[in-house]
């Protein structure tokens, strides 16, 4: 068994990018690596996850953690089904432990981001946190009573897949639901609205850039997305009673200035006292690094558990 344990590799599998880093126990990032997420096959996705680890691995690394955009079956170490990535029923924990001969932790990507912000970001020292990551999809992570809240089999929480509009828009990817929060507030959803308004070449990045330049139509679209987001934020405030609501993810961070005025207005309309008045809303401090930093903390957790087994 390795006894060094100074560093862990955290890997965040996103809909378009794999973000990875070597992380200290205090959450500081030593090195990072980025590569594209394959869209074709499961084998290709797993090969690219391995390549991301290989690019960072050295003798100081004692454990590896993966965040995936999927419910995780923690008992079996299985990625159940990614909504926006071709990865289904994948026994990633055993596979990666065999491949790298190190303890491996698995976590839902948004839980990982929430853990990252809680341990090393804007949520340091806060025991009740709801985090929403707005990227290709919507992830949710909850810290409750100073612990990650994962539900009975480790698969919770899927805050992007709560219904905010009965019988509304079809959800994204492999989700068969309707009217879920996700198809209203993602970068993908913003891209669809951007193309309708500005033509086929527009996407979410362009939409935010236009808003930065003062374009009223772009700002109006983002404010509209913020209203849907606020419905979700108000409901989550009522359910979890958080001290802190953190908004992260690539789209959430980039579009923060334009989403938040309407999102907070609607959130305060829907949430009940006393939560309504006490919940703070903050932008993710670690930006898009929250996911891999949190995955590294999950790796340290796996390392510490494996040390107890020896
Ligand atoms: Zn859904």
Q: What is the pLDDT of residues 157-207, one digit of tens each?
A: 889 999 999 999 999 888 899 999 999 999 999 999 999 999 999 999 999
- Chain segment 6-21, per-residue pLDDT in tens: 999 999 998 889 999 9
- Chain segment 261-308, per-residue pLDDT in tens: 999 999 999 999 998 999 999 999 998 899 999 999 999 999 998 887
Average pLDDT, the chain: 93
| CA–centroid distance, residue 178 to ligand 1 (Å) | 7
| CA–centroid distance, residue 31 to ligand 1 (Å) | 34
Peptide linkage before 274 cis (omega within 30 of 0): yes
Looking at the DSSP assignment, which residues form a beta bridge with residue 245?
Answer: 130, 281
Tokens of 208: 């935010």
Q: Give 234's contacts (C-beta < 8 A, 6+ positions apart).
A: 266, 267, 268, 269, 270, 271
| CA–centroid distance, residue 228 to ligand 1 (Å) | 15
Tokens of 298: 């999950």
| CA–centroid distance, residue 214 to ligand 1 (Å) | 32
| CA–centroid distance, residue 253 to ligand 1 (Å) | 22
Residue 56: per-residue pLDDT: 98
Percent of the chain with pLDDT over 90: 83
**What pTM was estimated for this model as a whole?**
0.88
| CA–centroid distance, residue 184 to ligand 1 (Å) | 10
| CA–centroid distance, residue 181 to ligand 1 (Å) | 7
| CA–centroid distance, residue 41 to ligand 1 (Å) | 22
Tokens of 96: 């990666």
Looking at the DSSP assignment, which residues form a beta bridge with residue 10?
Answer: 21, 65
């Amino acid at each position: 068994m390795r006894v060094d344990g100074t560093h862990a590799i955290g890997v965040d599998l996103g809909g378009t990018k794999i973000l990875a880093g070597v992380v200290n126990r205090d959450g500081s990032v030593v090195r990072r690596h980025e590569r594209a997420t394959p869209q074709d096959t499961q084998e290709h996705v797993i090969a690219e996850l391995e390549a991301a680890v290989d690019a960072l691995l050295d003798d100081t690394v004692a454990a590896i953690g993966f965040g995936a955009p999927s419910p995780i079956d923690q008992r079996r170490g299985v990625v159940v089904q990614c909504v926006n990535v071709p990865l289904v029923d994948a026994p990633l924990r055993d596979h990666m432990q065999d491949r790298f001969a190190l303890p491996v932790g698995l976590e839902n990507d948004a839980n990982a981001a929430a853990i990252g912000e809680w341990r090393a970001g804007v949520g340091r020292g806060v025991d009740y946190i709801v985090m929403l990551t707005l990227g290709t999809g919507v992830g949710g992570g909850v810290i409750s009573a100073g612990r990650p809240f994962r539900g009975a089999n480790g698969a919770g929480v899927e805050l992007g897949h709560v219904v905010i509009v009965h019988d509304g828009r079809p959800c994204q990817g492999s989700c068969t639901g309707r009217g879920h929060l996700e198809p209203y507030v993602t970068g993908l959803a913003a891209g669809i609205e951007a193309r309708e308004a500005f033509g086929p070449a527009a996407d979410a990045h362009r939409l935010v850039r236009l808003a930065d330049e003062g374009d009223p139509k772009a700002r109006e679209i983002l404010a509209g997305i913020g209203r849907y987001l606020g419905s979700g934020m108000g409901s989550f405030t009522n359910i979890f009673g958080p001290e802190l609501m953190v908004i992260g993810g690539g789209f959430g961070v980039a579009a923060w200035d334009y989403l938040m005025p309407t999102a907070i207005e609607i959130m305060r309309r829907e949430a009940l006292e006393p939560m309504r008045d006490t919940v703070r809303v903050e932008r993710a401090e670690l930006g898009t690094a929250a996911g891999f930093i949190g995955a590294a903390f999950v790796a340290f957790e796996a390392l510490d558990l494996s040390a107890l087994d020896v």
